Chains A and B, each alone.
Chain A
Amino acid sequence: MTGAAVPSQPADSTPRSKEGLRPVTDTRLDKSQPVLEVTDLEVSFPSEAGEVRAVRGVSYAVRPGEVLGIVGESGSGKSVSSMAVLGLLPDSAEVSGSVKLAGRELLGLSDNELSKIRGKDIGMVFQDPLSALTPVYSVGAQIVEALQIHQEMTKEQARTRAIELLDVVGIPDPRRRVDNFPHEFSGGMRQRAMIAMAIANDPKVIIADEPTTALDVTIQAQVLEVLKKAQDVTGAAIVMITHDLGVIAGFADRVQVMYAGKPVESGSVDEVYYHPRMPYTIGLLGSIPRLDNTERRALTPIEGTPPSMVELPKGCPFAARCPIAIDRCREVEPVLSVKEGNTHPTACHRSHELAGALDPATIYPVPEIPAAVELTSVPREQREKVLELDNLTKHFPLTQGAVIKRKVGVVKAVDGITLDIREGETLGLVGESGCGKTTTLLEILDLPSGQAGTVTVFGKDVRGLGRADRKALRRDMQIVFQDPMAALDARMPIGDILAEPLKTHNWDKDRIAARVPELLEMVGLNPDHADRYPQEFSGGQRQRISIARALALEPKLVILDEPVSALDVSIQAGVLNLLDELKVKLGLSYLFVAHDLSVVRHIADRIAVMYLGRIVELGDSASIFDAPSHPYTQALLSAVPLPDPRRERERTRILLTGDLPSPANVPSGCRFRNRCPKFLTLSEGEQQRCHDEDPANSRLAADHVAACHFATALEVI
């Protein structure tokens, strides 16, 4: 790109002018003075249904070098409040209150004036790094632009600085990479580039809005590390917005929990995590499955869904979901203040009791999950195999040319997978995006007839099956998809949606009519709602409908493709409990695909860890989590943040270098060797072995295999 054209920086929504490049004030930051101070911020939007009060009085202050975490579920107003701070809300939004950056009021400034602050004094990191970078300009050019807008610099100086910045955020070979375009970067690298851009002008504050939500755990660990480094370099304050309590635990100094547009609890991470005094926070902490939890117990979901932000009822917005709500809670909305006996502010009428008479650990009723009876008492070997994959392979040819297609390579999406699922057990299939999980699922569900390897369902090899047999197999094997909105036909009432599998398998009308309400009741929905459309239900309820549909035909195997990853934590707990309960009641087997290891730990009996089209480690849940033996499993587990600040601080992360290689270009020998932390510690001869020899599964315990030449157990949680 040429110097004449100034690329547009996406973070900057306004046409920027060339004037005013001089820094506004460059006072040395006083460490004790808050650099960003938000007081009584309120935001409302007009909507057809009425005024949406998205943010209802948010106040916080961050000092240089401090990290403030803002947590909340979707719709709690956490992102809207940060957008209001940046002045990036649409004109229709009404914003009141005060936002002071180093003593200067930002609210009421014109867009032009704000443009001079955004990207200079306030750096921004957004959730989706792909849409935050302009695809038509090189990454370097976009950083150069960010530099030149705010500082007097020649092109060469700016370019040199851009390379420096890319180096700081850990982009390998920055000199070459600086000229790459965003699509040539992986997701993690794009987010690093965004961070580079955010720190380009030595900002006083960095606002990071869900910076790692779209990334895999190992990449998340890398990016958090980079963010920390960026903070060390600039000494900036960070406002980190996320829904992930684990990320905040290790990263933030202070936390603010938001609910229905208002902070309901705030304090240091230790105070909030170890002494939560607001039932919502207590519920949130209790509803997340934890990686460090050895005993399997039911999660405590917060019942109900957050209230609509239009015409909020009077009183505490959480009262309807609160297990300890009293009459006063329904009349008067509590203010955020330090209650008697507490050390940090909460917005709850009963906080003082939670510090004394009421035990926070017991206020939520623990739902009872019936214990599995018959099946678990039978040893695994004697149970029937429901699904068996033997060396399942799926390669896609990579072709070039428009008219005559030439084969130029092979994408080894699934490259020899062997596993089995027995009756009544849950197999968790984990791995990062791009490792071939979904392809594996589709291969099973498509009942393929080609390529290498066999799929055996209920003892039948799917290859030789006729039409009728295939249909019969489909009855016994059902799927629940990730996104409950996309998986339900929006134009069908849910009664028809549930009746569809039954109709397909020739149930008669009366039986269908009886079965539909039964199914709805089974997943905890009201049978009267059969003639409503899917969009009248919330995300969690839709996922329940999906589950009900999958169970309609009383299948034996249910394939769950990330069934809770689109749901908020408090809702997720309810769905996980339901899955647990149904499994026991109906004797189901699950193939549970997920990227969230904490969820998998909660639900799975056995775990298969997948890397680049292969299973690298397979075993029962206890051995995988307590004695992970493949270096990849170890890295994966160590990258998962725990919602426990003290342990989080003590943990050392195994950081993987680089990104997942393309399945079109699988390394020779061991496919993990170029990212393997263990590889680096090996002697040359041993390294040569990893280089040349594809590791076979080595058996470590009765039900535990790892595909590594030098597998040794390591405790990482």
Chain B
Amino acid sequence: MSANQPAPSNTSAAGGEAVAALATATAGAPQPPAAVRKRTSRGKLTARRFARNKLALVGLGILALLFLAAYVGPSFTKYDYKFHDYMAFNAPPGGDHWWGTNQGGQDLFALTMRGLQKSLVIGLLVGGISTLVAGFVGAFAGYYGRWVDKGLTWFVDLLLVLPSFLIIAVLSPIFRNASWLIFVVLLAAFSWMITARVVRSMTLTLKDREFVKAAKYMGVPGPVIIFRHILPNMASLLIIDTVIQVGAAVIGESGLSFFGFGVQAPDVSLGTIIADNTTNAPTFQWLFYFPATCLVLIGVAVAFIGDGLRDAFDPNSSGAKSKGRRRKALAERNEAHRKATVAGGSRDVLGTS
């Protein structure tokens, strides 16, 4: 295996370790010489690692299908979600009404698809925005310390003690006629604070790590350090937080809608459909099953994608390593150890003794 590698030209000591690096994990394919080959960027590497995760791809597929169904699906049915079919109240699935109808005779498929449109967008936007804000505020507060920290934590604490539900309730009439996107902003604005505090405390520990110091002494500006080193190192937290926030936003939105804020009739969201039909669900089960399945699918898809992203960002996770590489690494390590004039392998198998 060492034969097709350009020989390291330096001191023999150095050469030894270089070959050892080869031994740790190469998929075996001969690589073009360094001069020809272009370095793969971090983004590309992450994307490649993400693509190796089957479940994550499944999640991505489900999400794409949900979007497709939500936006294209309604054009295949002749019923509009606002239309009340007075000939069929609480009709079971089948026939004209694929998923049945509700108490008011509305077609459940049309309703669910309409609701799905809203819920998908609200969920993903709220999840994304709140995590973004949390990461941003928390990391800046933790990294810069002093008055930046004092000011930002004070603001976070203030938002935490304010009853968010009340504020949204008070503000809702003002935005009554505005786009429901305002509602997304409101929901996001009140769901990022706890994460921000966690991010801040993690930043405080990361800030003292040597690689952050190294970057600082290199002259890398603070904001760049935050986005290049600090936030990627808490990617797991941020991703999991997003997944949770997406679910919470969909549910939270339905709660607010129930009280008359947010998505208002005749418009619907998944949350409102489920909430409206709770009383009838035990007898007319389809009223619950179809919208709830859609809700669960959103959750599952986001969770799969989140898992994949987390693995892709974390080079320690075995999930994202290529299979061949994983299996071959070990065999080759010892093979190379035998064959090469100098050899090696990861010494980390045993940890430190």
Contact = CB atoms under 8 A, between A and B. Distances in A.
Contacts of B42: 492-493, 496
Interface string A462-494: 000000001100110111011100111111110
Given A513-B38, A529-B21, A524 B11 contact: yes
A490 B315 contact: yes
Contacts of B87: none
A75 B211 contact: no
Contact of B350 (A54, A490, A533): A54
Interface in B28-71: 31, 33-35, 37-42, 45
Contact of B344 (A304, A517, A525): A304
A61 interface: no
B316 A49 contact: no
Chain A: number of interface residues, binned into ranges: 35 or more
B92 interface: no
Interface stretch (A195-203, A348-356, A538-546): A538-546
A475 B219 contact: yes
Interface string B2-19: 000110111111111111
B84 interface: no
A521 B330 contact: no
Contacts of A479: 213-214, 217
A263 B352 CA distance: 18
Contacts of A524: 8, 10-11, 13-15, 17-18
A48 B24 CA distance: 16
Contact of B17 (A513, A536, A538): A538
B218 interface: yes
A448 interface: no
B345 interface: yes
Interface stretch (A87-95, A140-148, A308-316, A603-611): A308-316
Given A479-B214, A496-B41, A536-B346, A75 B5 contact: no
Interface residues of B, number: 73
Nearest to A444: B217
A367 interface: yes
B1 interface: no
B25 interface: yes
Interface stretch (A453-461, A499-507, A660-668): A499-507
A72 B334 CA distance: 21
Nearest to A243: B353
A541 B21 contact: yes
B218 A525 contact: no
Contact of A533 (B20, B315, B334, B352): B315
A365 to B, nearest CB: 6
Nearest to B314: A491
Contacts of B78: none
Interface stretch (A222-230, A271-279, A572-580): A572-580
Nearest to B316: A535
A538 B219 contact: no
B342 to A, nearest CB: 4
B176 interface: no
A239 interface: no
Contact of A525 (B8, B12, B220, B346): B8
B11 A528 contact: no
A533 B348 CA distance: 14
Contacts of B82: none
Given A303-B17, A525-B18, A321 B346 contact: no
A80 interface: yes
Contact of A478 (B217, B228, B352): B217
A519 to B, nearest CB: 12
A308 B345 contact: yes
B338 interface: yes
Contact of A308 (B233, B313, B330): B330
Given A313-B334, A330-B338, A367-B12, A74 B18 contact: no
A269 B315 CA distance: 45
A523 interface: yes
Given A475-B219, A516-B39, A531-B39, A74 B229 contact: no
B347 interface: yes
Interface string A50-87: 10101000000000000000001011111110000000
Contact of B218 (A48, A303, A501): A501
Interface string B203-238: 000000111011101111100100011001101000
B214 A481 contact: yes
Given A320-B342, A535-B315, A487 B19 contact: no
A504 B218 CA distance: 8
B340 interface: yes
B347 A74 contact: yes
B230 to A, nearest CB: 10
A445 interface: yes
B337 A320 contact: yes
B17 to A, nearest CB: 5
B20 A304 contact: yes
Contact of B24 (A501, A536, A573): A536
B343 A526 contact: no
A112 B167 CA distance: 63
A409 to B, nearest CB: 23
B205 to A, nearest CB: 12
A396 interface: no
Contacts of B22: 526, 529
B143 to A, nearest CB: 15
Contact of A487 (B20, B214, B220): B214
Given A52-B350, A78-B353, A544-B14, A530 B343 contact: no
B215 to A, nearest CB: 7
Contacts of A362: none
Nearest to B37: A528
Contacts of B340: 304, 320
B114 interface: no
Contacts of A77: 350, 353
Nearest to A561: B210
Contacts of A541: 17-18, 20-21
B178 interface: no
Contacts of A513: 38-39
Contact of B211 (A306, A477, A489, A495): A489
B333 interface: yes
B13 A367 contact: yes
A544 B334 contact: no
Contacts of B265: none
B210 A487 contact: yes
Contacts of A496: 41-42
Contacts of B331: 311
B24 A539 contact: no
Contacts of B14: 523-525, 544, 574, 578
B343 A304 contact: yes
Contacts of A486: 209-211
A534 B209 CA distance: 15
A631 B8 CA distance: 47
Nearest to B34: A527
Nearest to B44: A531
B5 A538 contact: no
A497 to B, nearest CB: 8
Given A75-B352, A77-B353, A513-B38, A490 B11 contact: no
A538 B338 contact: no
A573 B344 contact: no
Given A50-B330, A488-B211, A536-B21, A301 B35 contact: no
Given A308-B334, A486-B209, A528-B5, A522 B35 contact: no
10 contacts: A303-B12, A304-B20, A479-B213, A489-B233, A493-B42, A501-B218, A504-B218, A537-B21, A538-B344, A577-B11
Given A304-B16, A574-B17, 19 more contacts: A72-B353, A304-B20, A305-B344, A307-B333, A307-B344, A310-B349, A313-B334, A319-B338, A367-B13, A479-B217, A488-B211, A501-B219, A523-B14, A524-B17, A526-B22, A528-B6, A535-B316, A571-B17, A581-B11
List the 7 closest A-B pairs by CB distance, nearest first. Answer: A524-B14, A303-B16, A305-B344, A574-B13, A533-B315, A474-B219, A527-B34
